[in-house]
Amino acid sequence: MSEALDQVVERAVNDAEFRSLLFKDLRKALEGYPVSDEERKLLENLDEENFDEFAGGLGSRTTKGIWPGTG
């Protein structure tokens, strides 16, 4: 996983507005993040239900928080 994708995931875990944007308008959410086409496709296939599982599977600092209503 690239540093850019790690930053996107970390931000989505910690910023509810960004997380919402990620699922509503991926293109806009990813502006300024140099993610690869493969990483973009990965994000396109995630939704709010499976995002937490994906982020938790990373085993990084991005998984320390729990979203309200998901725990």
Question: Would you give per-residue pLDDT tens digits along the chain (71 residues)?
Answer: 789 999 999 999 999 999 999 999 999 999 999 999 999 999 999 988 889 888 877 655 444 444 444 44
Domain residues for the domain of 55 are: 3-62
Q: Does residue 8 sit within a domain?
A: yes
Instruction: List all residues 6 or more positions away from 7 whose beta carbon is below 8 Å from its beta carbon.
Output: 33
Q: How far apart are CA 40 and CA 70, in angstroms?
A: 24
pLDDT at 31: 97
Per the structure, how many domains does the chain have? Answer: 1
For residue 68, tell me if it sits in a domain. Answer: no
The DSSP symbol for 64 reads S
